[in-house]
Homo-oligomer: A and B are copies of this chain.
Amino acid sequence: MLKVPQHQVAGHEAGIGKLGPLVDESGRFYKPLQGDERGASEVAFYTSLSTNSGIPEHIQRFFSTFYGTQLVEASDGSGLLPHLVLEDLALGRVNPSIMDIKIGSRTWAPEAPEKYIQKCLKKDRESSSLSLGFRISGLQIYRSKELGFWKPGKKAAQKLSREEVKLVLRRFVSSNTLNDLDSRPDCAFASTVYGGSTGILSQLLELKAWFEDQTIFHLYSCSILVIFEKELALKGKNPGAQIKLIDFAHVYEGRGVIDHNFLGGLCSLIKFISEILTAPNECGIEVSAKADQKNLTADNGVVADHKNLTDSDNGVVAIQKNLTTSDNGVVADQKNLTVSDNGVLADQKNLTASDDNCVVADQNGVS
Contact = CB atoms under 8 A, between A and B. Distances in A.
A216 B290 CA distance: 8
Given A261-B105, A271-B213, A256 B110 contact: no
Contacts of A265: 260, 264
A346 to B, nearest CB: 26
Interface stretch (A129-137, A144-152, A195-203, A333-341): A129-137
B212 A131 contact: no
Interface string A182-218: 0000000000000000000000000000001101100
A106 interface: yes
Contacts of A166: 256
A255 B288 contact: yes
Which bracket fits the contact residues of A?
35 or more
A327 interface: no
A216 B271 CA distance: 13
A292 B293 CA distance: 49
Copies of this chain, tallied across the complex: 2
Contact of A264 (B213, B253, B260, B291): B260
A292 B260 contact: no
A80 interface: no
A303 to B, nearest CB: 12
Interface in A156-187: 162, 166
11 contacts: A105-B106, A132-B260, A133-B258, A133-B260, A212-B267, A212-B270, A215-B271, A216-B290, A256-B286, A264-B264, A264-B267
What 9 A-B pairs come out closest when comparing CB atoms?
Answer: A264-B264, A260-B264, A133-B260, A260-B268, A110-B130, A256-B286, A258-B271, A110-B131, A258-B268
Given A162-B255, A212-B267, A253-B293, 15 more contacts: A51-B291, A52-B290, A54-B289, A105-B106, A110-B131, A132-B257, A133-B260, A162-B257, A216-B290, A253-B295, A255-B295, A256-B288, A257-B268, A258-B267, A260-B265
